[in-house]
Each structure stands twice: as C-alpha cells, then as structure tokens.
Structure 1
Amino acid sequence: MEETLSTKNSTKTRNITMVAVVAAIYAVITFAIQPVAFGPVQLRVSEGLNHLAAWNKRYILAVGLGVFIANLVSPLGWIDWVFGTLGTLIMTGITYLLTRRVNSAVLKIIISSVVVATIGMAILAAEFTFAFSIGASGAFPSGSKGGILAQWVAYYITLVPGEIVSLIVGGVVIYALSKVVDLSK
C-alpha cells in the first residue's frame, strides 16, 4: 500500500513539474522573440510545443499555461489572455483526442499540425477580428476592405505561414526528443 501511494505521489509530482517546465519554456521563448511573437503576422516559434499534446494530456495544460503567461504582455491585453488561452486549450485538446491511439510520432505531428494550422489559427483569426471590430486597445487592422468574414480571412491568411514554420521547427524538435525521451510518461 505504501509503495503504491509513493508511486502515485511521484507521478503527480512529475506531472506538475513537467507542466511547469513546458509552460516556462513556452513563455521564455515567446518573451525572447516578443517583437515577432504577437500580431497578425507572427512567428511564435514556441507554438511548436503544441505537438506535445499528442503524447500526453498534461501538455494541454502546460502549453495553455505557457500561452497565458506569454500573453500577459500581449498588445491585446485581456482579449488575448482569455481567447488566446482558450483557443490553445481547445486545439491541444482536440490534438490529444485525435492522437491518443496513434503510435507513429510522424503521424502524431502531422495530425497536430493540421489541427493547429486550421482550428487553432481559425480561432486566433476570430479573436483578432473581434478585437478590431470592438476597437480594443492594441488591435490592428486586417487590411481588408470587406466585412467581418473578409477580415477573418485576411487575418487567417496572414497567421498561417508563420504558424506552419513554427510547427515544422517544433515538429522536428519534438520528433527528435520523442526518440530519446518517452513523452507519454
């Protein structure tokens, strides 16, 4: 009985530690590249950590917490704290659900990339459209001359290239890491 309790405590401690470490890494990388990490055209390399959710559900919380911390310095303020974090929790949650029975690291990364580049960026484009349409402090124009849908499409088109680059870089790093560390534990 005592051994089982010790094992449970050890697992709980490991999970909390991993969540804290990944959240800190996400935030530090984002802070380091802050000039290009925010806005409708961004290269937030820390987004490559989204792939971790394909290995263990604790990374949903870890990346979500990292996004929240990083977004504390966002020009959009509370809008990015709330919607940026929720968008991350949604897309990493979907990634986890779609990949939990997938064994191939490459397939996990591909599925994660598709989810993040489509659903994740769709949510972020909606956040930017909302922020601009209400005239939020720190909001930026999409450059679109059309209505709400045209603005959303303009934001989406400008967000996806940087996200794909981040996902490719992150995919390579996470793939290599998965070969030397069991990310599911």
Structure 2
Amino acid sequence: MMRTEKSKSYNITLPAIVAGLYVVISLAFAPLSFGVVQLRFAEMFNHLAAFNKRYIYALILGCLMVNLFSPLGIIDVIVGTLGTAIGTILTYLLTRKAPNNLTRYIIATLCQIPGVLLVSLELMMISKLPFLLTFGSVLVGEFLSMIVGAVVIQFLTTRIDFINGKRKAL
C-alpha cells in the first residue's frame, strides 16, 4: 500500500474509532450518560475537534447514535446532537490558531457551554426542575469529563498526531 493510501485509510479509521469509542463508553456508563445528573465520560473526546475537523463528524455521529438510546426519546437525539455539533464546531473554529495544547483544552472546554445550555433547557422542560439546577448539574459533569479528557488526550498525543491523523513513531 502506498504511503498516501495508508494515510487516507488512517484518516478514515481514526474518526471511526472515535465515534465507536464515544458510543461504547457512553452506553457502558448509561445510567450516568443521560438525565439531570449527567456525567458522560465520552464527552472527553470533544477535545479532538481542536486538532482536526474530521473529529467533528465522528463526535456528532457518536452522540447521535448514543442519543438513540436515550430514555428522553427523539428530543434528546435532536437537542443533544445539536449541542455536540455546536460545541465541536466552535472548538474547531476557535482553536485553529491556538499556540499550544493547554490553550486548545481550555477553549474546547468552554466551547461546550452552549451545548450544556441546550441540554439543560431540554432537561428543565422534561423534568420540570429549575433551570439553574439542571444547568449546574450538566455543567459540572461536562467540565469533569473535559478535564479528564484533557489529561487523556494529552497522553495520547505522545502516540498519535491528531492534527495530521498519523501514528507517531515509538
């Protein structure tokens, strides 16, 4: 296989793996992945949108597939997936000129707030709980996932070049 073919294959495979991991991790922790008290560990992968736009599609697809299993129904498929789309697109756009990974991680974490806002409004309407309660709960869970994710992704950057979609030599 020529180098460009191998590179193209890797550029398709890596996002597919990310989408699959998003689904597997979210469903493995399903009781925490849905609802007012929410800690969706797979949200850690949202940092990847700061490295390359190919991960936006992977994360949106992963989120959509997970939300098909949501006890909240089709509204969660629409609202939750829209929140992920907004957060990851903002992450990509606002980190394009980030000077280092720490800056990327901080910006990516903050870019998830619009999605948190949408999901919180959805949960408020469905659960009839106060907005500040749903927003605070979802925000804390999102930030915890993103903080853990920054550590995990930073470790993985020693092995994987997420910008160019290539494995680094060991």
**Both proteins in one fold, TM over 0.5:** yes
1:1-185 map, 5 Å: 7=4, 9-116=5-112, 118-130=113-125, 132=126, 140-142=127-129, 144=130, 151=131, 153-185=132-164
* C-alpha contact 1:129 1:155 (8 A) present in aligned 2: yes
- The one-character-per-residue Cα deviations of 1:86-140 (angstroms, maximum 9, x if unpaired) are 1101110000000011130111001101111x2221121123234x2xxxxxxx2
Q: Measure, in 2, the Cα distance between the counterparts of 1:158 and 1:44.
A: 12
Per the TM alignment, residue 178 of structure 1 is displaced from its structure 2 partner at its CA by 1.4
RMSD: 1.6
* C-alpha contact 1:105 1:178 (8 A) present in aligned 2: no
SS in 1 for 2:52: coil
Q: Measure, in 1, the Cα distance between the counterparts of 2:79 and 2:98.
A: 29
Per the TM alignment, residue 11 of structure 1 is displaced from its structure 2 partner at its CA by 4.3
Letter in 2 for 1:73: F
Moved more, 106-115 or 15-24: 15-24
Q: Measure, in 1, the Cα distance between the counterparts of 2:31 and 2:123.
A: 17
Q: Measure, in 2, the Cα distance between the counterparts of 1:108 and 1:167.
A: 12
In our comparison, the structure showing a higher alpha carbon Rg is 1
Q: Measure, in 2, the Cα distance between the counterparts of 1:156 and 1:24.
A: 27
* C-alpha contact 1:40 1:159 (8 A) present in aligned 2: yes
Letter in 2 for 1:97: L
Q: Measure, in 2, the Cα distance between the counterparts of 1:11 and 1:77.
A: 38
- The one-character-per-residue Cα deviations of 1:133-165 (angstroms, maximum 9, x if unpaired) are xxxxxxx231x3xxxxxx3x3311121111111
Give unpaired runs (5+ residues) of structure 2.
Answer: 165-170
Q: Measure, in 1, the Cα distance between the counterparts of 2:7 and 2:99.
A: 22
Q: Measure, in 2, the Cα distance between the counterparts of 1:12 and 1:80.
A: 33
Q: After TM superposition, where is structure 1 displaced by more than 6 Å over at least 4 residues in a row? A: none
Calculate percent identity across the aligned residue pairs.
Answer: 42
After TM superposition, the score normalised by the length of structure 1 is 0.82
Give unpaired runs (5+ residues) of structure 1.
Answer: 133-139, 145-150
- The one-character-per-residue Cα deviations of 1:27-53 (angstroms, maximum 9, x if unpaired) are 000010011110011111111010000
After TM superposition, the score normalised by the length of structure 2 is 0.88
